Chain A
């Protein structure tokens, strides 16, 4: 069985495993885009915008390759985002790529029987910066064409040793017991909302948001001074780093190590630690239904397809991606990397002074019967630019608030679970993906967001948003909706008797300067209660 190791634990900066990875990447890069086993073709499987590739010098305008359309519908523009297929599709993608690199290593006479992709656990102390072999333009022998080095990395995780990613990135979604929540404003679960074949539109799932999206943005960043040259009005848009946007992300060799870590976190969510408390039968399990297990092909949509090393086609389903031992690999360590509260429900129920459900102490597992309803709504569009924070009021509906209060006090269903609450940033649209902002909720009129970390609902990266906002792409251009759990904040408001207010403040605080031309806007801000 192949073992994927932590890149920071496998030896020096240029350990054998890293060196062979670089040699494999170099071999793939010798082939052009019209070859399905080339480096660039693998990048196009994830996402493909030819003019951006030409701009970055990834391809020449004269290079052969698929046109920027659907002329190669088997493979191109396939990455699954804002979907419950996000995790299984990327697992299959990693496996196909790993087999290709292993094949290159075999051709070069290297250790193909044992080589496996390493993963990068950026949460570990002093390991938040891209591994040294990826930062050096040269090989260990001084040759200047290190294929792991990419110039277009402008985010703080690429070049700022003082950057503490824990300010912007976390593992909170790992404490969500469900793979796919009810949606409709409620939880999207750890794995993402139920969809068909889905290419950049809709709502983010938990793991896709944190840490996936935010790490992408914080590696890629955007060029500090250069802007996209065309077409207007894009002239004010800084050039995004490769990792910052889905149609170039897989062209950066660090992409594969980042996704190995996401894949590792999925396995960790499934099985680590082995005795995680379950309330419902499906907790910590992948979806059991046929529509997830058989993938989008079951509903007549595109099948998941990767090239084999001989150029033939390999189709796979999510069900085939469930067991990594069946897939013949494992991870050296499944510890997530930073603290994850796996039993938040027990502490929450204790805080609210409610009776502990029997299931939490090994009793009867409860059936799940979730309903979601709108609790509060803002007054429409919120545009963001500059560095100044923006405050909006979300008006709460009194009858719905009463139902929530009844649930939190235990009056509604003494033996039931208390409601959960979710903040929705609806239809976030932007011309760029390289924006990061923080969202606070429930601040008093004169309160400063930075002084109130307990009111932080989440940090949002716009990875994938520019494509999702473009109506000339594979969707209506509605952008992406972010669903953030704010249950703990509402619990606190309830316990502090601050629950009667008709309106609650939501503060959006840009982490970096947002130029006006980037067109960043939130369609509306709303709040939902989800009964359990």
Chain B
């Protein structure tokens, strides 16, 4: 049942508002969270990666960052960046669950989705580190990551994966199948989300400076991309312009509204 197609998930609804609030909280933590725990996002955002002089140095960094801290910080970053884009799937889970199971079903989706991204952190961070340690020229790892991202943007498989992010398939609704079904949907959605977005995330991780600014740029790009309607998969440079067009239309609407008596020309 596709009650809330992905392309319309940004229309304000309660689910979306809650997710935006949670995302904003994540950003506050990333911005202001210093100290031993939120030193970890610095790794996630590429700050440490960009300044690594050697593999040994990286291994040293990992000796004082526990796996728990890494997972916590990565999840914080994930929620900050991604929660608003799962509004559609979560609304779908909500609609496909009995009233008394909605919270459990939604949590199972988030669990599956988060698990995929936490697992994905390993190859992504290691790839960013690999790029850093194998390129001697400053900024080269960033240029390489941006290049990979642009190539991926042109691939039909990228569009296919992006379309799959709008997929809303039937879910089971009874007993333990609710949890399994929600988790499986979260894993599937996380897989397509990772396939679509990982080159963008990698580029943000490879940024040599202003890491948070690049993270914000990557986030806005991902949000804008998810706002796009599904398109036929083919070779083309996918640039998500719908958000800009919507913004322009809204601005024009406001301007027209203040000009009293102005009406749309008769189409006939």
Which residues does A use to contact B, with CB under 8 Å?
69-70, 183-185, 193-198, 201-203, 290-291, 294, 297-301, 314-317, 320, 327-328, 372-374, 377, 379-380, 395, 397, 399-400, 424, 426-427, 471-478, 481, 523-524, 526
Chain B residues within 8 Å of A70, by CB: 231-232, 234
CB distance from B203 to the nearest CB of A (A): 24
Asked if A301 and B95 make an inter-chain contact with CB atoms under 8 angstroms apart, the answer reads: no
User: What's the Cα separation between A374 and B99 when bound, in Å?
Assistant: 7
Tell which of A320, A374, A427 touches B264, judged by Cβ atoms closer than 8 Å.
A320
Chain A residues within 8 Å of B174, by CB: 377, 395
Asked if A474 and B229 make an inter-chain contact with CB atoms under 8 angstroms apart, the answer reads: yes
Asked if A185 and B2 make an inter-chain contact with CB atoms under 8 angstroms apart, the answer reads: no
Asked if A374 and B96 make an inter-chain contact with CB atoms under 8 angstroms apart, the answer reads: yes
Report B21-53 CB contacts with A as 1/0, cut-off 8 Å: 000000000000000000000000000000000
Interface: B210 (CB within 8 A) = no
Asked if A300 and B172 make an inter-chain contact with CB atoms under 8 angstroms apart, the answer reads: no
Who on chain B is nearest to A299 by CB?
B246
Chain A residues within 8 Å of B231, by CB: 70, 474
Tell which of A69, A185, A399 touches B1, judged by Cβ atoms closer than 8 Å.
A185
User: What's the Cα separation between A474 and B164 when bound, in Å?
Assistant: 11
Asked if B229 and A197 make an inter-chain contact with CB atoms under 8 angstroms apart, the answer reads: yes
CB distance from B150 to the nearest CB of A (A): 20
- The A-contacting residues of B in range 237-252, CB under 8 angstroms, are 241-250
Interface: B223 (CB within 8 A) = no
Asked if B173 and A298 make an inter-chain contact with CB atoms under 8 angstroms apart, the answer reads: no
Asked if B246 and A523 make an inter-chain contact with CB atoms under 8 angstroms apart, the answer reads: no
Chain A residues within 8 Å of B227, by CB: 300
Chain B residues within 8 Å of A426, by CB: 1-2, 170
Asked if B166 and A380 make an inter-chain contact with CB atoms under 8 angstroms apart, the answer reads: no
CB distance from B183 to the nearest CB of A (A): 16
Asked if B249 and A427 make an inter-chain contact with CB atoms under 8 angstroms apart, the answer reads: no
Interface: B58 (CB within 8 A) = no
Asked if A297 and B249 make an inter-chain contact with CB atoms under 8 angstroms apart, the answer reads: yes
User: What's the Cα separation between A395 and B172 when bound, in Å?
Assistant: 11
Asked if A195 and B1 make an inter-chain contact with CB atoms under 8 angstroms apart, the answer reads: no
Asked if A400 and B232 make an inter-chain contact with CB atoms under 8 angstroms apart, the answer reads: no
Tell which of A300, A395, A478 touches B249, judged by Cβ atoms closer than 8 Å.
A300
CB distance from B132 to the nearest CB of A (A): 36
Which residues does B use to contact A, with CB under 8 Å?
1-5, 7-8, 11, 91, 95-100, 160, 163-174, 227, 229-234, 241-250, 253, 264, 267-268
Tell which of B8, B164, B246 touches A195, judged by Cβ atoms closer than 8 Å.
B8
Q: Give the 9 A-B residue pairs with the shortest CB-CB distance, closest first.
A: A300-B246, A524-B170, A300-B245, A476-B167, A377-B173, A300-B242, A426-B1, A184-B3, A523-B170
Who on chain B is nearest to A327 by CB?
B268
User: What's the Cα separation between A197 and B230 when bound, in Å?
Assistant: 10
User: What's the Cα separation between A294 and B169 when bound, in Å?
Assistant: 30
Asked if A374 and B246 make an inter-chain contact with CB atoms under 8 angstroms apart, the answer reads: no
Beyond A294-B253, A377-B174, A475-B163, 19 additional contacts (C-beta under 8 Å) are A183-B3, A184-B4, A196-B229, A290-B253, A300-B245, A300-B246, A300-B249, A314-B267, A320-B267, A427-B1, A471-B163, A471-B164, A474-B230, A476-B166, A476-B230, A478-B167, A523-B1, A524-B1, A526-B170
CB distance from A376 to the nearest CB of B (A): 8
User: What's the Cα separation between A473 and B229 when bound, in Å?
Assistant: 12
Asked if B242 and A301 make an inter-chain contact with CB atoms under 8 angstroms apart, the answer reads: yes
Asked if B1 and A481 make an inter-chain contact with CB atoms under 8 angstroms apart, the answer reads: yes
User: What's the Cα separation between A379 and B1 when bound, in Å?
Assistant: 14
CB distance from A397 to the nearest CB of B (A): 5
Asked if B95 and A374 make an inter-chain contact with CB atoms under 8 angstroms apart, the answer reads: yes
When A184-B95, A474-B232 are in contact, do A427 and B245 touch as well, CB less than 8 Å?
A: no
User: What's the Cα separation between A476 and B233 when bound, in Å?
Assistant: 10
User: What's the Cα separation between A301 and B5 when bound, in Å?
Assistant: 15
When A300-B246, A426-B170 are in contact, do A194 and B3 touch as well, CB less than 8 Å?
A: no
CB distance from A47 to the nearest CB of B (A): 13
CB distance from A472 to the nearest CB of B (A): 6
Chain A residues within 8 Å of B8, by CB: 194-196
Tell which of B7, B168, B243, B246 touches A478, judged by Cβ atoms closer than 8 Å.
B168
Chain A residues within 8 Å of B11, by CB: 291
Asked if B100 and A203 make an inter-chain contact with CB atoms under 8 angstroms apart, the answer reads: no
Chain B residues within 8 Å of A301, by CB: 229, 242, 245
Chain B residues within 8 Å of A69, by CB: 232, 234
Asked if B229 and A478 make an inter-chain contact with CB atoms under 8 angstroms apart, the answer reads: no
Chain B residues within 8 Å of A183, by CB: 3-4
Tell which of B2, B99, B167 touches A400, judged by Cβ atoms closer than 8 Å.
B99
CB distance from B160 to the nearest CB of A (A): 7
User: What's the Cα separation between A474 and B4 when bound, in Å?
Assistant: 17
Chain A residues within 8 Å of B168, by CB: 476, 478
Question: Can you list 29 A-B pairs with a CB-CB distance of less than 8 A?
Answer: A70-B231, A184-B4, A195-B8, A196-B5, A196-B8, A196-B229, A203-B2, A291-B11, A294-B253, A297-B249, A298-B249, A299-B246, A299-B249, A300-B227, A300-B242, A300-B248, A374-B97, A374-B173, A400-B98, A424-B1, A471-B160, A472-B233, A474-B232, A476-B163, A476-B164, A476-B165, A476-B166, A481-B1, A526-B173
